[in-house]
Amino acid sequence: MEDKAQIQEAIKIQGEVVRKLKSEKASKEQIDEEVAKLLQLKAQIGGDDGKHQFVLKTAKGTRDYNPKQMAIRERVFNTIISCFKRHGAETIDTPVFELKETLTGKYGEDSKLIYDLKDQGGELLSLRYDLTVPFARYLAMNKITNIKRYHIAKVYRRDNPAMTRGRYREFYQCDFDIAGQYDGMIPDAECLKIVHEILSELDLGDFRIKVNDRRILDGMFAVCGVPDDKFRSICSTVDKLDKMPWEDVKKEMVNEKGLSEEAADRIGEYVSLQGGMDLAERLLQDHRMSQSKQACAGLSDIKLLFSYLQLFQVTDKVVFDLSLARGLDYYTGIIYEAVLTQAGAAPAPAEAQNGAPAEESVSVGSVAGGGRYDGLVGMFDPKGRKVPCVGVSIGIERIFSIMEHKAEVSAEKVRTTEVQVMVASAQKNLLEEKLRLITELWDAGIKAEVMYKKNPKLLSQLQHCEESGIPLVAILGEQELKDGVVKLRVVATREEVDISRADLIAEIRKRTSEA
Amino acid sequence: MEDKAQIQEAIKIQGEVVRKLKSEKASKEQIDEEVAKLLQLKAQIGGDDGKHQFVLKTAKGTRDYNPKQMAIRERVFNTIISCFKRHGAETIDTPVFELKETLTGKYGEDSKLIYDLKDQGGELLSLRYDLTVPFARYLAMNKITNIKRYHIAKVYRRDNPAMTRGRYREFYQCDFDIAGQYDGMIPDAECLKIVHEILSELDLGDFRIKVNDRRILDGMFAVCGVPDDKFRSICSTVDKLDKMPWEDVKKEMVNEKGLSEEAADRIGEYVSLQGGMDLAERLLQDHRMSQSKQACAGLSDIKLLFSYLQLFQVTDKVVFDLSLARGLDYYTGIIYEAVLTQAGAAPAPAEAQNGAPAEESVSVGSVAGGGRYDGLVGMFDPKGRKVPCVGVSIGIERIFSIMEHKAEVSAEKVRTTEVQVMVASAQKNLLEEKLRLITELWDAGIKAEVMYKKNPKLLSQLQHCEESGIPLVAILGEQELKDGVVKLRVVATREEVDISRADLIAEIRKRTSEA
């Protein structure tokens, strides 16, 4: 399609860009990026001189998962999915792209981060930006009014990695949501119970779950004298309280957002409050707060929520915190966010925020968040019928990072296969016998490997076991074949015992049943 | 960005297209498609009149998976992944998009089916078209020369659903590959063993695995008098033999491809041959075939392959079939394809080919295919270093269809959750007691549900169990609470027994241990 002369011209220009950056001693990152563009251009005309100049890289902001990372990812998924299943959740899946207009008007300013597909004729498509909007579209499209589902899948955001180091443009989200018209706060409380279970089981260190309610925030703004049209803007400033001291937040409210100093001070008093059911009770009596119907509705629900949380035995970690704001527009009731409180357990912030969505990663240690969104499904229904929803998103990329970091610093070896036994030989010309034996093992459901060599050395077979953590070796030799036995070697202890062929499978099962 | 007047003009034109189609009584499918375009256009300017006109659909050629489909999908995945793990495979993952040029020049004519992302600045990207090219890129990029890995993920092809009904544009691939320099035919034989295990375990009915070798095909073409530059083209005609009778294939060779009648007849003799190791031996003696060095190399390998397949005890299903061609350019040695032979077990062809890649779905009943590709990784290596590979792709979408179809026609109910017990109440005002009990169950790892209503009717609680296949109900009432017991009801038999609170968890575990 493109003219060759044009490309060659582009190569020349790009070459100069690179030279200029190098002479200016620009950052390695910046130079690498421009060099990649240059190589890409060169590759386009590279076909002619016989060898294609490939740029061997993944797309910017994406990464491959190697087997070790996959093993960790699988372990984390298993823990989380078990919890979702314990709570009776179903699962669904949606396509990686949606009609462009399905995503339109759902993400405010962040819409610019949506990946569009090229118009190659037909519908205009975009990659999904989260799992919540496709979920709402799914419910409306199928007229589903009741479901408890989880969905674990990748989402896409054209975030600028230069600005937000360590974030990915392709990353997992892991959502659990309960849709349906139910009695107040029962599903909401279950979401918090789930967060508590998952974070406890993953053993990430101590954590705290902050809880607030959109209606309490809005009521509070109203009674503090914030003009209606400034609610959202002031709310997003409050959202910065976990990264900035109150003084700076106040300055932003007064100097940038034009709020009166008195109003800011009143807000300041409220957002410093933390507690439990008692705090909700106190605020219901508060002379100012009690004037807001909205706030009172929220406070009553917080009380009810805490009564259920007590029954679920999770109040040890849950705090009613009036400074919790969360950015997403679509929340209508309770909101929550879980943070790790042991700084030491987490990697440095730079690498910590992998994939945490921009508007959701309000806290450095944030590992889960969510809330109630009763209006979103109605946006998709032709008649605007509402389906109340409450859900939670587990910050799984953040958790992967922590787990990978843990695996690196600990001596523990991450196994990437589950092989129980290696079928090996001590002498030459035993390939056929080994294949015969491994067939017996596979057919009995034993996880087994054999080297793809006719005559591998015993040492290299044993080395492979050490490297990949295979616990047992079934060694065949002339003598063993004659005696109808197999020499079973325990890799860790180097102990060897002759096991009769007939008992081998049972013996392997017995010895690896804990693994 | 787009001008409103322009859009309104487009709406007018599109409206006429729809009217015209309707007046012409065009197919429903065609009309629906044009109506969708019209609604999409209208939606673009819909914001003004207050209510957005949403088109509630997934992108063309894609689908959601509902919980029932997901349950089937999970079951199929589990069977396949267990098999891969039994054979010691690791797993990796790659991003859903690649640099456009990574895919360039790998798929021949089918490149036009690649989805490109819109150029929003930065790199040019495309959605992955299969998992093999990203795998080769991964190996070359990380200089990996040895790996046995599986990868299950979605791939994207802008196929025309009007032409190939029932195919998807987003579909799963499920690949197992062994990369590395090994002794001949051992990994190749293991791939066939894996196909045999998976198809047997999935219980899809009887099947056959056809085997051939690229070098035998090329050698055969040479000795039959096919000019070198016609190999690929004649090969793709041979590929049609499972859908067309020989007479038609011959006609295409002679009339369309310009092959001499004698050459075609010679090919005809060979491609009608089927057998095992004996056939390979016979052909090695064949006066014509034995003149091709290439063919002899392939035939010797087929002999060696069959000797390993005998040890693996899978020769009952494997046939050496000289008509098997397979379209992909990158195969260099052995090729194979598994087909279901019981027509009755499979849905009609129209819905059967879901997602089966165009060039790979040579047979209506094809459920797996693969082969050796020793050159692909070298295409990515700057120095052209080769990494020999052999692999197999399980036609998982096809298998999903068959399983879904089976589930529909059978009386068997597909459960979408794994809930073991429902915590229910016979009287009012017992929500708190139920939440206390379910907390005990969850904390003990029991999968349990409770209704999100304060006072649900016992009947509706029991109905929910029937509908979602929950086997047990733990019923609380005033009397049970007083006695320190729970009434455990077996949904299937309606049997009820009082179990003491202390024994409840053990009792539930015992009664659901087979599930």
CB B405 within 8 A of CB B352: no
Name the most confidently modeled range: A176-180, A241-245, B32-36: A176-180
For residues B358 and B498, give the distance between their C-alpha atoms in angstroms, rounded to a whole number.
Answer: 60
Minimal Cα distance from B419: which residue of A? A88
Nearest of B208, B198, B278 to residue B242 by alpha carbon? B208
State the smallest CA–CA distance between residue B82 and chain A in angstroms.
9
Q: Choose the mutation target among A1, A44, A45, A56 for the interface with B, i.e. most B CBs under 10 Å.
A: A56
pLDDT over 50 (residue A462): yes
Specify the pLDDT at position B14. Answer: 83
Q: At B30, is the pLDDT very low, low, confident or very high (cuts 50, 70, 90)? A: confident
Mean pLDDT across the stretch B41-62? 68
Helices then strands, counting H and E runs in chain A, come out as 19, 16
Question: Model confidence over B416-446: pLDDT tens digits?
Answer: 999 999 999 989 999 999 999 999 999 999 9
Q: Mean pLDDT, to the nearest integer, of A199-213?
A: 95
Which of A90, A139, A449, A454 is the best mutation test for B, with the most CBs of B within 10 A? Answer: A90
| Separation between Cα atoms, residue A320 and residue A343, nearest integer Å | 21
pLDDT confidence of residue A167: 73
Unique residue bearing structure tokens 């008007």: A105
Q: Does A29 have pLDDT greater than 80?
A: no
Q: Per-residue pLDDT for B210 more than 50?
A: yes
Helix or strand or coil: residue B140?
Answer: helix
Instruction: List Cα–Cα distances, B129 to B99, B137, B154, B159, B331, in angstroms.
Output: 12, 13, 9, 11, 17
Comparing A505-509, B120-124, B469-473, B508-512, the range with the smallest average pLDDT is B120-124
Is residue B329's pLDDT more than 80?
A: no
Report the DSSP beta bridge partners of residue B172: B154
pLDDT category at B166 given cuts 50, 70, 90 is low
Report the C-alpha gap between A437 and A479 in whole angstroms: 15
Report the pLDDT value the prediction gives residue A363, as an integer from 0 to 100: 43
Beta bridge partners of B149: B90, B177
pLDDT over 70 for what percent of chain B?
A: 91
Compute the distance between CA of residue A91 and CA of residue A58 in angstroms, rounded to an integer.
30
User: With bands split at pLDDT 50, 70 and 90, how would you rate the model's confidence at A353?
Assistant: very low
d(CA B102, CA B98): 6
Q: Taking 60 as the threshold, does the pLDDT of residue A165 lie above it?
A: no
DSSP A395: -
Residue B335 in contact with residue B211, Cβ under 8 Å? yes
Choose between B444 and A411: higher pLDDT. Answer: B444
Q: How far is CA A444 from the centre of its chain?
A: 37
pLDDT at A446 over 80: yes
Give the rounded percent of residues in chain A with a pLDDT score beyond 90.
69
Within 8 A of B124 by CB-CB distance, chain A residues are 40
- Among A220-234, A276-290, B19-33, which is the least confidently predicted range? B19-33
CA-wise closest residue to B458 among B500, B487, B417: B487
What's the CA dihedral at A287, A291, A294, A298 to 10 degrees? 20
Which of A44-53, A445-454, B148-157 shows the lowest mean pLDDT across its residues?
A: A44-53
Q: What is the pLDDT of residues A326-338, one digit of tens each?
A: 876 789 999 999 9
Residue B500 pLDDT exceeds 80:
yes
Q: Read off the pLDDT of residues B236-256 as tens digits, 9 standing for 90 and up.
A: 889 888 888 999 999 999 999
Is the Cβ pair B197, A63 closer than 8 Å?
no
Greater pLDDT, A359 or B16: B16
Q: Report, in angstroms and rounded to the nearest whole number, the Rg of chain B calculated over CA atoms.
A: 29
pLDDT band at A25 (very low <50, low <70, confident <90, very high): confident
**Least confident residue range of B34-38, B41-45, B448-452:** B41-45
Contacts of A456 in chain B (CB under 8 A): none
pLDDT beyond 70 at A162: no
Say how far apart CA A416 and CA A68 lie, in whole Å.
6
pLDDT at B182 over 60: yes
Interface contact flag, A64 B138, Cβ < 8 Å: yes
Name which of B44, B54, B92 is nearest A65 (Cβ-Cβ).
Answer: B92
pLDDT digits (tens, 9 = 90+) for B75-114: 999 999 999 999 999 999 999 999 999 998 888 778 889 9
**Residue B349 clears pLDDT 50, i.e. is over it:** no
Kindly indicate the confidence band of residue B356, based on its pLDDT and cuts at 50, 70 and 90. Answer: very low
For residue A15, pLDDT over 90 is answered with no
Cβ–Cβ under 8 Å, residues B207 and B338? yes
Measuring CA to CA, how many Å separate A76 from each of A217, A346, B316?
Answer: 34, 16, 41
Average pLDDT, chain A: 88
Nearest alpha-carbon partner for B195 in B353, B399, B403: B399
Instruction: Give the burial class of B362: count Cβ atoms within 10 A of its Cβ; 0-12 exposed, 13-18 middle, 19 or more buried.
Output: buried
Of A149-158, A464-473, B55-64, the one with minimum mean pLDDT is B55-64
Closest CA to A167 of A332, A325, A17, A350: A350
pLDDT of residue B161: 61
Q: What is the pLDDT of residue A343?
A: 56
CA distances from B199 to A14, B153, B285, B403 (A): 53, 20, 34, 12
Contact call for B92 and A311, based on CB within 8 A = no
Q: How far apart are CA A335 and CA A279, in angstroms?
A: 17
Overall average pLDDT of the B282-290 stretch: 95
| Nearest partner of A37 among A7, A64, A80, judged by Cα | A7
Provide the phi-psi class of A326: left if phi over 0, else alpha when psi is between -120 and 50, else beta.
left
A140 to chain B: closest CA residue:
B56
Measure the N-to-C terminal CA separation of chain B; round to a whole number of Å: 57
Question: How many Cβ pairs within 8 Å bridge chains A and B?
Answer: 258
| A346 CA: distance to closest CA in chain B (Å) | 25
Cα distances from A12 to residues A7, A323, B123, B316, in angstroms, run 9, 54, 18, 62
What dihedral do alpha carbons B8, B10, B14, B15 form, nearest 10°? 20
Give the burial string for A45-72 (b: 16+ CB within 10 Å, else e). Answer: beeeeeebbbbbbbbbbbbbbbbbbbbb
Closest residue by Cα to residue A325 from A366, A286, A291: A366
What is the nearest CA distance from A79 to chain B, expressed in angstroms?
Answer: 12
Residues near B333 by Cβ (< 8 Å), separated by ≥ 6? Answer: B188, B213, B214, B215, B298, B301, B371, B372, B374, B390
Specify whether the backbone of B154 is left (phi greater than 0), alpha (psi in -120 to 50) or beta. beta
Q: Cα(first)–Cα(last) distance of chain A, in Å? A: 57
* Residue appearing with tokens 């990978």: A404
* ∠ CA B480-B481-B483, rounded to 5°: 65
Residues of B in contact with A65 (CB under 8 A): 92-94
Q: B44 contacts in A (CB within 8 Å)?
A: 101
**Inter-chain residue contact B54 with A124, CB threshold 8 Å:** no
Q: Please state, for a pLDDT cut of 70, what percent of chain A lies above it.
A: 91
**Which chain B positions have a beta carbon within 8 Å of A120's beta carbon?**
115-116, 158
Q: What is the mean pLDDT of residues A71-100?
A: 96
The residue-averaged pLDDT of A475-501 equals 95
Q: Check A99 against B40: CB less than 8 A apart.
A: yes
Residue B157 burial class via C-beta count within 10 angstroms: exposed 0-12, middle 13-18, buried 19 and up: buried
Distance CA A364, CA A242 (A): 8
Question: Which of A331, A226, A332, A240 is CA-nearest to residue A288?
Answer: A226
Q: Tell me the per-residue pLDDT of A207-236, one tens digit each, with 9 for 90 and over.
A: 999 999 999 999 999 999 999 988 888 988
Predicted structure pTM score: 0.85
A98: which chain B residues are within 8 Å (Cβ-Cβ)?
58-59
Q: Phi and psi of B474, rounded to 5°?
A: -105, 105
The token pair that represents B506 in the structure block = 């053990």
Is 60 exceeded by the pLDDT of residue B513? yes
What type of residue is A493?
T
Closest CA of chain A from B41, distance in Å: 10
Which residues of A are less than 8 Å from B419 in CB distance? 88
Please check whether residue A446 is in contact with residue A458, taking contact to mean a CB–CB distance below 8 angstroms. no
**What b/e readout covers B159-175, taking b as 16+ CB neighbours within 10 angstroms?**
beeeebebbbbbbbbbb
- Provide the mean pLDDT of chain B: 88
- pLDDT band of residue B46 (cuts 50, 70, 90) is low
Helix (H) or strand (E) holding B425: strand B421-425
Per-residue pLDDT of A101-133, as tens digits, reads 999 888 877 888 999 999 988 899 999 999 999
Is B149 close to A96, i.e. CB distance below 8 A?
A: no
Retrieve residue B244's tokens.
């067309």
Does pLDDT of A46 surpass 80?
no
CA-nearest of B513, B377, B399, B373 to B447 is B513
Q: What is the rounded distance in angstroms from the CA atom of residue A179 to the CA atom of residue A149?
A: 8
Q: Which amino acid is at B152?
A: I
